[in-house]
């Protein structure tokens, strides 16, 4: 098998280790060796309750935690799926939750693995030269959850045999990606419960087996040239008395423990879930995550905190709710820039749910079990909650209708026609209620607010929306056609002892604003050789220096530098030797592109002549001295008329004052008009055909009508 050097990106989580909050690694942490070969080992310990692990002797797991990343999170529960192995391991392997992979029990009656395959199968599809393997004690791991594309799928007769097989696989030089499943902690949980010494002893045995696998990795002959990502996780926990499948804290709590080159030692995060394991492994192996895969998980290093997550230091214990215990898990303080409009909110009710408030999953999902709150799996860390059900459970209240609006910051608009908005939305309904998302605009624009989303208003314990909403907004314009300057979002929820709405990860973005093209104008459309013209421009880069050049025969006229606003103005002298005729004044930008304007140059006045007279006339000549001619005139020539001009032109009329401004032949553009960036105008060629100057050559354009636009970049 060939090995490949990929960029490493690692994800992990851990247990009982205090470290860096929010997963922001210290700046001093070394980056991975990009030349090292990426390798991955994921170890699943079936039924290992996270909270129970802290009471067991697990030095190998604790070493992984101390050297890497720890994050605990919760599994979903009914009605999405019970806390059993089929849904749990499928979420870990595929990177999506049960409502997508459709494994809701251990029977695998209708799995959606065709749309959401396991991560080892994705590796085989994208990088078939990599050597993949899965070895598990529980049969469905190797026969069902991981697909037939995986190079090796094997079942151990017990955890000792599984560990032996895994160590042997790790000793093979070609091994790249291995998933291992240990099952006997779950057996101890069923027989004795998670509070028993037998359960803790089983955790210690599993820890020793994990240590054997880690030692096998570190003993590889090429270990120093390999970039290993090692993760430990579980599919569910156990009750103190034994068993799982319900919604209690011990059954739902799981974890990911990871050690790898991109994680600072001792880091703790609150935003990582088990659905992130699959994309984290793929990213570590250098494989791009295709958005079309529709994964729920995200590579850990690609996760970004949102505004709600900044509230973690403000979280406090419950005032009225008993389910969360003494957990620091809620606040009614909105993050900076956000606000909550409770002007229509009655007084009283549960203080933790008085209008929109902000909570963690440990707090929110445990206030009352079995009411869909356990299925809020797409939110991370701290999120916003409007819950009319829990609010109405506490009396007295000044009314029955919960009515509150969460208001986002005013996002500055950049002039683009559209904006993109996305947010996690978990909406449950159980009786009359309403939920809408509105876009509002700055008051100066006078544009009324617009409704973006309107959710189902009635139902019986339904969860019709549990997804990430994405939308593109066509921004409205005012009566004059102007776009608004800012946009805010309003999340409005009302309900009468109904259910709840959770919002998280609100993202706002816009495409790049259209950039006004650089342009310039010339103060005069016609100038005598030796005279001056002023160029004035806008839309240039701040501090950008341009070169002005006169063509047909290129002559550099000077340099100009734009100010901080991109504007410039500069006076140019037209060389006296410039031949009379049609020319092009070209501005060459810093990037080599050109903007051009036509310029007519007339013959320079002779020495001692009045610039307003015919160049060949001596002002001092006595009228009539030339026999046979009218006084002071050339026979048949109107005094003051330029050679080749239409006879009869008033000699006092400046060029172009009586007649339309001259056009650049073949362009239809009058001289003196504004030339825009990115365009080089056509200039006169043979037989009046437009040409484009390329270097010192002129290329005649024989086809096409109207103005010809061209860009040119110069290289040194």
* Cβ 640 vs Cβ 648: under 8 Å: no
| Bridge partners of residue 355, in order along the sequence | none
CA distance 254 to 49: 7
Is residue 98 within 8 Å of 268, Cβ to Cβ? Answer: no
Least confident residue range of 104-113, 393-402, 704-713: 704-713
**Residue 454's Cα: distance from chain center in Å?**
26
How would you list the strands of the sheet with 500-509, edge to edge?
Answer: 330-331, 357-360, 382-387, 500-509, 418-429, 462-474
**Looking at the DSSP assignment, which residues form a beta bridge with residue 254?**
73
**Residue 641: pLDDT over 70:** no
pLDDT confidence band for 440 (50 / 70 / 90): very high
pLDDT above 50: residue 677: no
Structural domain range at position 460: 307-509
Tell me the two tokens of residue 251. Answer: 């059954």
Task: Give tens-digit pLDDT for 280-291.
Answer: 999 999 999 999
In this structure, the number of other CB atoms found within 10 A of the CB of residue 275 comes to 23
129-143, 581-595, 664-678, 684-698: least confident range? 684-698
Mean pLDDT for 593-610 is 83
Separation CA 662–CA 599 (nearest Å): 9
CATH code for the domain in which residue 703 is found? 2.60.40.1930
Share of the chain above pLDDT 70, in %: 80
Is residue 711 assigned to a domain? yes
* pLDDT confidence band for 33 (50 / 70 / 90): low
- The predicted pLDDT at position 687 comes to 34
Q: Is residue 50 part of a domain?
A: yes
- Please state the rounded mean pLDDT for residues 251-264: 95
Q: Judging by beta carbons within 10 Å of its beta carbon (0-12, 13-18, 19+), is residue 201 exposed, middle or buried?
A: middle
Indicate whether 463 pLDDT > 90.
no
Task: State residue 513's pLDDT score.
Answer: 84
Q: Which of 282, 302, 322 finishes a domain?
A: 302
Q: How many domains does the chain have?
A: 3
* Model confidence at 663: pLDDT above 90: no
- Residue 106 sits in a domain whose CATH number is 3.40.720.10
Share of the chain above pLDDT 90, in %: 75
For residue 459, the domain's CATH number is: 2.60.120.260
Question: Average pLDDT, whole number, for the chain?
Answer: 84
Residue 154 confidence (pLDDT) above 50: yes
Question: Mind listing the pLDDT tens digit for each residue in 512-561?
Answer: 988 888 999 999 999 999 999 999 999 999 999 999 999 977 889 899 99
Whether the per-residue pLDDT at 298 is higher than 70: the answer is: yes
Same domain as 218, residue 337: no
**532 and 392 share a domain?**
no
Residue 458 binned pLDDT confidence (cut-offs 50, 70, 90): confident
Asked if residue 404 and residue 444 are part of one domain, the reply reads: yes
- Let me know if residue 288 belongs to a domain: yes
pLDDT at 451: 96
Q: How confident is the model at residue 257 (pLDDT cuts 50, 70, 90)?
A: very high
- Token readout for 187 is 């057996």
Tell me, what's the pLDDT at 456? 84
CB atoms within 10 A of CB 578: 22
Starting from the edge strand earliest in sequence, which strands make up the sheet with 226-233, in order? Answer: 152-155, 131-136, 175-182, 37-45, 226-233, 253-259, 69-74, 267-268
State residue 632's pLDDT score.
Answer: 40
Which helix (DSSP H) or strand (DSSP E) does residue 218 occupy? helix 197-218
Cα–Cα distances in angstroms (integers) from residue 399 to residues 340, 392, 404, 429, 492, in the given order: 19, 9, 13, 20, 18
Q: Is residue 558 part of a domain?
A: yes
């Amino acid at each position: 098998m060939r090995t490949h050097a990929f960029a490493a990106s690692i994800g992990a989580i851990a247990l009982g280790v205090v470290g860096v909050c929010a997963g922001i690694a210290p700046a001093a942490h070394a980056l991975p060796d990009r030349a090292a070969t990426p390798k991955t080992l994921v170890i699943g310990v079936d039924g290992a309750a996270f909270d129970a692990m802290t009471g067991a002797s697990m030095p190998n797991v604790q070493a992984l935690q101390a050297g890497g990343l720890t994050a605990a999170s919760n599994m979903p529960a009914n009605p999405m799926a019970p806390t059993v192995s089929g849904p749990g391991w499928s979420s870990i392997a595929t990177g999506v939750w049960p409502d997508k992979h459709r494994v809701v029990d251990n029977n695998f009656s209708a799995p959606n693995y065709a749309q959401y395959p396991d991560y080892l199968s994705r590796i085989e599809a994208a990088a078939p030269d990599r050597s993949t393997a899965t070895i598990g004690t529980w049969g469905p791991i190797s026969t069902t959850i991981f697909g037939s594309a995986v190079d090796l799928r094997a079942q151990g007769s017990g955890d000792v045999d599984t560990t032996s097989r895994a160590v042997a696989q790790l000793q093979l030089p070609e091994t790249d990606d291995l998933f291992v499943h240990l099952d006997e902690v779950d057996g101890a949980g069923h027989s004795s419960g998670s509070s028993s010494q037998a359960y803790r002893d089983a955790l210690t045995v599993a820890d020793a087996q994990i240590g054997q696998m880690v030692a096998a990795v570190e003993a590889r002959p090429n270990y120093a040239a390999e970039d290993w990502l090692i993760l430990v996780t579980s599919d569910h926990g156990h009750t103190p008395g034994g068993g799982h499948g319900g919604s209690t804290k011990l059954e739902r709590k799981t974890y990911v423990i990871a050690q790898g080159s991109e994680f600072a030692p001792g880091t703790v995060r609150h935003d990582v879930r088990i659905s992130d394991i699959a994309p984290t492994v793929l990213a570590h192996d250098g494989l791009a995550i295709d958005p079309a895969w529709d994964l729920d998980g995200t590579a850990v290093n690609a996760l970004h905190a949102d505004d709600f997550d900044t509230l973690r230091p403000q979280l406090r214990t419950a005032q009225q709710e008993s389910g969360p215990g003494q957990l620091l898990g809620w606040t009614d303080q909105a993050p900076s820039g956000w606000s909550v409009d409770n002007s229509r909110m009655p007084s009283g009710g549960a203080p933790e749910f008085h209008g929109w408030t902000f909570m963690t999953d440990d707090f929110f999902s445990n206030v009352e079990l079995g009411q869909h709150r356990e299925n809020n799996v797409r939110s991370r860390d701290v999120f916003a909650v409007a819950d009319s059900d829990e609010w109405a459970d506490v009396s007295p209240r000044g009314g029955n209708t919960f009515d509150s609006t969460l208001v986002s910051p005013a996002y500055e608009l950049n002039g683009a026609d559209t904006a993109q908005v996305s947010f996690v939305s978990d909406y449950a309904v159980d009786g009359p209620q309403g939920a809408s998302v509105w876009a509002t605009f700055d008051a100066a624009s006078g544009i009324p607010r617009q409704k973006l989303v309107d959710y189902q208003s009635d139902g019986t314990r339904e969860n019709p929306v549990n997804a990430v909403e994405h939308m593109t907004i066509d921004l409205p314009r005012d009566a004059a056609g102007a776009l608004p300057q800012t946009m805010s979002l309003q999340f409005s929820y009302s309900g009468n002892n109904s259910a709840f709405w959770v919002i998280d990860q609100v993202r706002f973005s816009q495409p790049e604003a259209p950039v006004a093209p650089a342009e310039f104008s010339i103060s005069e459309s016609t100038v005598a050789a030796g005279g001056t013209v002023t160029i004035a421009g806008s839309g240039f880069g701040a501090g950008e220096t341009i070169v002005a050049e006169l063509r047909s025969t290129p002559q550099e006229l000077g340099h100009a530098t734009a100010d901080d606003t991109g504007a410039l103005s500069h006076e140019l002298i037209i060389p006296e030797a410039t031949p009379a005729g049609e020319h092009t004044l070209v501005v060459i930008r810093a990037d080599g592109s050109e903007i051009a304007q036509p310029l007519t140059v007339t013959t320079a006045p002779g020495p001692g002549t009045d610039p307003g007279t015919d160049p060949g006339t001596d002002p001092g000549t006595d009228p009539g001295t030339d026999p046979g001619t009218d006084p002071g005139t050339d026979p048949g020539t109107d005094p003051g008329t330029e050679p080749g001009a239409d006879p009869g032109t008033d000699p006092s009329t400046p060029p172009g004052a009586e007649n339309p401004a001259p056009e650049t032949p073949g362009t239809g553009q009058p001289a003196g008009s504004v030339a825009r960036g990115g365009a080089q105008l056509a200039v006169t060629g043979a037989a009046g055909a437009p040409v484009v100057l390329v270097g010192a050559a002129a290329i005649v354009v024989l086809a096409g009508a109207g103005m010809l636009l061209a860009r040119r970049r110069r290289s040194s």
